[in-house]
Amino acid sequence: MDAALMTNSKVTNLQEIGLDWWPSPAKLNLFLHINGRYPNGYHQLQSLFQMLDYGDKLAFDINDSGVISMATPLKGVKDEDNLIVRAAKLLAEHAHINKGVNISLEKCLPMGGGIGGGSSNAATTLVALNQLWGVKLSEDELAELGLELGADVPIFVRGLTAFASGVGEEITPAPQEEKWYLVANPNVHISTAEVFTAEKLTRNTPIMQWEDYQFEKTRNDCQQLVVNRYPEVANLLQWLVHYAPSRMTGTGACVFAIFSDDVCAKQVQAKLPAAWHSFVAKGVNRSPLLQKLKKSEHVYATSDKK
Ligand SMILES: C[C@](O)(CO)[C@H](O)COP(=O)(O)OP(=O)(O)OC[C@H]1O[C@@H](n2ccc(N)nc2=O)[C@H](O)[C@@H]1O
Ligand SMILES: Nc1ncnc2c1ncn2[C@@H]1O[C@H](COP(=O)(O)OP(=O)(O)OP(=O)(O)O)[C@@H](O)[C@H]1O
């Protein structure tokens, strides 16, 4: 990742070259409880997904060639493995259409950071091409398709701050007071699979009633394991917790601290040792992707009851 992009500097390149950009926001898991394991190895979890007003940007140059390509290949990820290309191909196959697209990506979000960058890119691709190719799938259909790409894709398709259960696909909207988050990256890449296959992972947290949710009464069940394995995460958490309630998101590596206003969040960010890249973002109840969709004329098909 380009260090310069992990700041709050405005990313305007796609706009500057005249493309219509689609936001691909980050999420935080304000808590993450693991309640059990399904026979297929996936974990049964409960989480609160907080949408942020900060993320990557995508632009879609559609054509009739039938070819799906990346105008801006992602360093270290082959195009055929890129969740953006995989999402576009999945939608084309599912809808039996033979249109093409050349896709530009401005990557701001750290990869493997637990803030859902890849899943969000996939969801934005599904939502945007559904509209631009005139596919007209409903929100439910897009979310179901997204689940084939990853457990976190459906929540980004729906674009709401929400409680999630199951493998993360059962979603209950849960609007939160809009706070500010300082999100910091300890510069380690943690594989989600590594954490979920760890023998010592806590997997027996009792199911919680959503109405009982309070940040202080919850935790991230992956955090202790990650802190034990990665001293960089432990050090960053220790530093942040001195200033504000702080926790790891997802399976790591990013850590967030919660503030009631941006001024306080930015004051702490200014003190953060330079080795830790960070950004400050507002927590939003409706994701920037949803806001863009609602602004455009053509939303989901009329079969969508949401
Ligand atoms: C833990 C979270 O980061 C919370 O946001 C996500 O649920 C992970 O979502 P994701 O990255 O979209 O996950 P996937 O790409 O589907 O799976 C990545 C890896 O995590 C494991 N995985 C994922 C979700 C889940 N509920 N149980 C799991 O055990 C899968 O076995 C796989 O090895
Ligand atoms: N478009 C993409 N953006 C980011 N990563 C991608 C993309 N396509 C494929 N990947 C692969 O997915 C891996 C996980 O990336 P991602 O940024 O989604 O992790 P994450 O933030 O930990 O996700 P989560 O919170 O959902 O577990 C990357 O290391 C990369 O190899």
ipTM for this model: 0.95
pTM score, whole prediction: 0.92
In a structure prediction context, what are the per-residue pLDDT tens digits for the chain, which is 306 residues long? 333 334 333 344 555 556 799 999 999 999 999 999 999 999 999 999 999 999 999 999 999 999 999 999 999 999 999 999 999 999 999 999 999 999 999 999 999 899 999 999 999 999 999 999 999 999 999 999 999 999 999 999 999 999 999 998 899 999 999 999 999 999 998 999 999 999 999 999 999 999 999 999 999 999 999 999 999 999 999 999 999 999 999 999 999 999 999 999 999 999 999 999 999 999 999 999 999 988 765 445 444 433
Q: Name the active-site residue from 27, 99, 107, 292.
A: 27
| CB 86 less than 6 A from any atom of ligand 1 | no
At 295 the pLDDT is 74
CA of 195 to the centre of ligand 1 (A): 10
Residue 247 forms beta bridges with which residues? 256
The helix (H) or strand (E) run that includes residue 184 is strand 180-185
- Is residue 152 part of the annotated active site? The answer reads yes
- Measured in degrees and rounded to the nearest 5, phi and psi for residue 126 equal -60, -50
CB neighbour burial string for 246-283, b if at least 16 within 10 angstroms, e if fewer: bbbbbbbbbbbbbbeebebbeebbeebeeebbbbbbeb
At 14 the pLDDT is 53
Q: Residue ranges of the domains in the chain? A: 3-295
Do the beta carbons of residue 17 and residue 61 sit within 8 Å?
Answer: no
Q: How far is 128 from 87, CA to CA, in rounded Å?
A: 11
Q: How far is 168 from 275, CA to CA, in rounded Å?
A: 32
CA of 118 to the centre of ligand 2 (A): 4
Q: Which among 168, 153, 132 has a CA at the least distance from the CA of 59?
A: 132
Give, as one character, the DSSP assignment of residue 220. B
Q: Name the active-site residue from 56, 99, 152, 221.
A: 152
Residue 233 Cα distances to 113, 184, 247, angstroms: 11, 10, 10
Q: Does domain 3-295 have CATH number 3.90.1300.10?
A: no
